[in-house]
Amino acid sequence: MNSITLSKPILKSLSSLDTTPKLSIPRKISHHQSKRNKVCSIKSIYKQETRNFSAGLVSNRADWQTSCAILASNVVSQQSNEKNDGGGKAEIISINGVHQTLELVPIQQETNLPKPLSITDLSPAPMHGSQLRVAYQGVPGAYSEAAAGKAYPNCVAIPCDQFEVAFQAVGHWIADRAVLPVENSLGGSIHRNYDLLLRHNLHIVGEVQLPVHHCLLALPGVRKEDLNRVISHPQALSQCESTLTKLGLNVAREAVDDTAGAAEFIATHNLRYTAAIASSRAAELYGLQILADGIQDDSSNVTRFVMLAREPIIPRTDRPFKTSIVFAHNEGMSVLFKVLSAFEFRNISLTKIESRPFKNRPIRVVGDASTGGTAKHFEYMFYIDFEASMADPRAQNALAEVQEFTSFLRVLGSYPMDMTAWSPSIRDL
């Protein structure tokens, strides 16, 4: 696997906090503005210390930590607005003479704190453009980290505790790219990321396919017979379901946020009766032993990741390209055949078609109750990947025809296909 520059998890999850009051973030400031003139001073009301951070591009990893913690807490706050109506304490900050209120999330004591920052951790981070900063979901040792290293060798990897945070990290200029999974050959599509692609205004600029090699991990000295629980990401659990049964493990299976996070959780809390499904690299990082190697149900297990950026790339025709679109129609699925015909007529191959609920209009009613009743149909949006570049006249003409049949059409990205050789015997992790 290509080398990758590791960083500590900076987008720290705040989902374990009991209270998550809404966090007000100051107005967005362009990254082109001078950070000398845009410095905010935030004093925590729960911890007696003062931090300064740049309101534009961050300049060191400590600044990243402050900015990303605010970003992560904002994601949690948005998800729990209905549940929490603002029970946190507020702090007044001043930006260019304008006072603004910042509601802070209480700090809880953790029994296992990360090791103190070293001098190398406090060295200046690369400025925008000198080295790519790539956000991924998970902690060090996650498969997404390996995908980020394969897509962008020698990048600065930024772990995120949620897919949503990775999207926002790119949107708020904390990261230059995000590398996120969209489908697996065994577990199928990662629906959360398909929904987030539509919610956020980011562009797909590439793809990478990564062989996934799962291991059963536990604390040193633990035997398989001692286990009563296996934890991992839902995708990993589904990819190893048959193998776990064949191993004779009569254990509870519980889902967590990511595979490497499951390994970290076992090591941190010294759980002697719990195993994790994760990579061999996670075992090395968190001091766990491998009870079983290669437990995926299919040796040719592979996950497809997409690379996301704020701006699209210029499509070309000198190499194989793929284009991803999403569309919907007021008349429901009846238009699907016409859309597919637009590609078939021009000999454009489809590589994927995915339907997702149309959240703004979930039900379509057909008919009249006065003349014999009504029928109710679910409404869907359709995601399609096809093998053609938007620089190809065939693709342009196909989308022009598709637009006639749809009420909504968006190009998510036109990007180079991953044409690297792959073998199920290759272990990237």
Model confidence pLDDT, tens digit, residues 1-32: 444 444 444 454 434 333 333 333 334 434 44
Detail the DSSP E strand segments found in 350-406. Answer: 350-357, 363-368, 373-378, 380-386
pLDDT at 170 over 90: yes
For helices 393-405 and 336-344, the axis angle rounded to 10 degrees is 160
User: What value, to the nearest 5°, has the Cα angle with vertex 259 and ends 257 and 260?
Assistant: 105
pLDDT at 287 over 90: yes
pLDDT at 315 over 60: yes
Contact 76, 15 (CB under 8 A): yes
Q: What's the pLDDT at 169? A: 92
Nearest residue to 140 (alpha-carbon basis) of 10, 293, 35 = 10
419 DSSP assignment: -
Q: What's the pLDDT at 96? A: 52
Report the predicted TM-score, pTM, of the whole model to 2 decimal places. Answer: 0.68
Token duo for residue 107: 């700090």
CB atoms within 10 A of CB 319: 9
Backbone angles phi, psi at 226, to 5 degrees: -85, -10
* Catalytic site residue from 20, 259, 274, 303: 303
* Residue 53 is a catalytic residue: no
Q: What's the pLDDT at 329? A: 81
For helices 191-199 and 163-171, the axis angle rounded to 10 degrees is 30
* Residue 408 is a catalytic residue: no
Query: Helices then strands (H, E): number in the chain?
Result: 10, 21
Nearest residue to 323 (alpha-carbon basis) of 391, 274, 266 = 391
| pLDDT, tens digit (0-9, with 9 covering 90-100), for 248-270 | 888 899 999 889 999 999 999 99
Mean pLDDT over residues 406-427, rounded?
A: 80
* Catalytic site residue from 163, 305, 327, 358: 305
